[in-house]
Amino acid sequence: MGNFLQKLKIIVRDSVLRKRILFIFFVLVVFRALASVPIPGVDVSRLGEILSQNQFLGLLNIFSGGGLTNLSIVMLGVAPYITASIIMQLGTIISTRLKALYHEEGEAGRKRFSQYSRLLSVPLAITQGFGLILLLTRQGVIAPFSPFDWVVNLTVVVAGSLLLMWLGELISEFGIGNGVSILIFAGIVAALPATMAQLAFAFEISQIPLYIGFIAAAVAVVAGVVFITESERPIPVTYAKRVRGNKMYGGVSTYIPLRVNQAGVIPIIFALSILLLPQMIAGFVAQAGNETVRSIAEAVVSFLNNGWFYSTFYFALVFLFTYFYTAVTFDPNAIATNLQKGGAFIPGVRPGTQTSEHIAHILTRITFVGALFLGLIAVLPLVMQALTGITALAIGGTALLIVVSVVIDLIKKIDAQLSLREY
Q: Which pLDDT score is estimated for 65? A: 62
DSSP string, 187-223: HHHHTHHHHHHHHHHT--GGGHHHHHHHHHHHHHHHH
Report the pLDDT value the prediction gives residue 328, as an integer from 0 to 100: 78
- Residue 294 and residue 288 in contact, taking contact as beta carbons nearer than 8 Å: yes
In contact, 31 and 183? CB cutoff 8 Å: yes
Per-residue confidence (pLDDT) for residue 309, from 0 to 100 = 74
Residues 6+ away with beta carbon under 8 Å from 122: 80, 158, 162
pLDDT at 112: 85
pLDDT at 214: 73
Contact criterion met (CB below 8 Å) for 395 and 378: no
DSSP conformational letter for 298: H
pLDDT of residue 200: 67
Q: Say how far apart CA 105 and CA 203 lie, in whole Å.
A: 57
Contacts of 420 (CB under 8 A, 6+ apart): none
Q: Quick one: which of 376, 164, 420 has its CA closest to 268?
A: 376
What's the CA gap between 366 and 259, in Å, rounded? 8
- Count CB neighbours of 407 within 10 A: 14
Q: Which residues contact 328 (CB under 8 A, 6 or more apart)?
A: 89, 90, 92, 93
User: What is the rounded radius of gyration, in angstroms, for the C-alpha atoms of the chain?
Assistant: 24
Its pTM stands at 0.76
Q: Would you give per-residue pLDDT tens digits along the chain (423 residues)?
A: 556 666 677 777 777 778 888 888 898 888 888 888 888 777 767 776 676 666 566 666 666 666 677 778 888 888 788 888 878 877 877 777 877 777 666 777 778 888 888 898 999 888 888 877 877 777 777 777 778 878 888 888 899 889 988 998 898 888 887 788 888 888 777 777 766 666 666 666 666 777 777 777 778 878 888 888 888 888 888 877 666 666 655 567 788 888 888 877 778 777 766 766 666 666 666 666 667 767 777 777 676 666 677 778 888 888 888 888 888 778 888 888 888 887 788 888 888 888 888 888 898 999 998 889 888 887 777 777 666 665 555 545 667 777 777 788 788 777 777 776 665
Give CA separation, 187 vs 25, 63, 67, in Å.
Answer: 13, 8, 8
Q: At what angle do helices 396-422 and 266-285 cross, to 10 degrees?
A: 150
The pLDDT of residue 370: 87
Compute the C-alpha angle 285/286/289, nearest 5°: 80
For 318, residues 6+ apart whose C-beta sits below 8 A from its C-beta are 267, 268, 270, 271, 371, 374, 375, 378, 379
For the chain, which domains are there? 15-190 (1.10.3370.10), 198-423 (1.10.3370.10)
